[in-house]
Amino acid sequence: MNIILVGLSHRTAPIEIREHFSIPANKMGDALYHLKSDPLIEEGIILSTCNRVEVCAVVKDTRAGFEAVKKFLIESYSGVSRESLEPCFYMHSASNCLRHLFRVASSLDSMILGEPQILGQIKDAFDQAILHKTTGVILNKVFKKSISVAKRVRTETRIAESAVSVSYAAVELAKKIFGKLTEKSVLLIGAGEMAELAARHFKGNGVLSISFVNRSYDRALELAKDLGGIPVKFEDFHVEMARSDIVLCSTGAPEYVIKSEEVSKVIAIRQNRPIFFIDISVPRNIDPKINDLDNVFLYDIDDLQISVETNIKQRKKEALKAEEIISEEIERFSRWFKSLDAVPMIIALKGRAEEIRMAELEKILGKMGTLTTAQREALEGLTSAIVNKLLHTPLTVLKQEVHSTNGNMMLEATRRLFDLEDMLAQPEREKQEKTKGPPT
């Protein structure tokens, strides 16, 4: 029995190939059913995002499992020849599979290191698999662990704290200048993707109001309706600028849209209350001379890019800490996974029973005073016989059922019912002690 993963991502396949594998949410049930209908696949989950499609499965035969999943992906979705796709696929099994999943969930494998969306996408994939009953004991444990590892990485590192997009960096910069943004009004000039993203970040930070200006008033109206803002006609934006604490400009104009003399008038109207300008246009849309005016702060896209690059370096440092956390979690999970093998489970169960028998025997011997050798042997024989009879049926059933459909569930139940975690970890501890050798 093994955990495997087959997939392709932004690291191995261009968008022209990835888009063939996109599985809409309303088709995911059919895809999961199709995957699980292969007798080689015991459990299965499909993760489909714009940057990756991955199938994680539990199989008995690793090599055959890899081929079955690849066949599923190629024949069901691609429409592209196998020869073209082969170089795009990556395949992982056992601990390498776990490491990949934990890294993906922790956004260490994302296009933008530390981005938060992937964790939600993994939760959605897991929910779909549970809904369509294509997971069991193992993948349920694997994906719950992946989610908890990702949360631990976010809690114990600073991988997600710094802005790594220009739009988000603009908002973070505004927060550094003004502190809280809840009392601040924002004016967005331009209605492109970056302006829209910035608007969403400002809204997420609870600004007092957002006004939208665009040469196409209909587009400004559309954005204002979508994001809960105020549409302003282009010819009126100078008036609106005087009411705004933050002005973000992102248009395709080839010349300055905001000039120094206009800002000078705006500052006078504002009675010298500070105003923060962010110019993320190329070519620039705000005259850089406004930086010479008192109480005016101007940052352009290069200023923001420097901030973004610094933050990316910081995230890469934090990623090293995340990798250490993932290694720790893989070791813990691998110990649990090995326990699903019947042999160590049986040894652990016998060990637990013997531990209890000996402890109770010592107690009673202490109370009975001096016994003859025969009497002592009789007591030991009696207690051993009781333990063996009690364990006979559970051990027989475990051996018989371990390869059945419910085998994993039965092993997991045994581990929890008899509290065998510590007993199962004992051989690994002894192995580590031997490796260390005697103290010098």
- What amino acid positions are annotated as catalytic residues? 50
CB-CB contact of 220 with 194 (8 Å): no
Nearest to 298 by CA among 268, 251, 258: 258
**Percent helix, strand and coil across the chain, each to the nearest 5:** 60, 15, 25
Asked if residue 299 lies in contact with residue 139, where contact means CB atoms within 8 angstroms, the answer is no
Whether 285 and 298 have beta carbons less than 8 Å apart is answered as no
CA distance linking residue 105 with residue 121, whole number of Å: 9
For residue 251 the two structure tokens come to 């248009």
Per DSSP, the three-state class of 252 is coil
Q: Between the CA of residue 407 and those of 271, 411, 414, what are the distances in Å?
A: 76, 6, 11
Burial of 62 (0-12, 13-18, 19+ CB in 10 A): middle
Helix/strand/coil for 437: coil
The pair phi, psi for residue 345, each rounded to 5°, is -65, -40
Q: Which residues, other chains included, contact 36 with Cβ-Cβ below 8 Å and sequence gap of 6+?
A: 43, 44, 132, 134
DSSP class per residue in 57-116: EEESSHHHHHHHHHHHHIIIII-S-HHHHGGG-EEEEHHHHHHHHHHHHTTSSSSSTT-S
Dist. CA 114–CA 347, nearest whole Å? 43
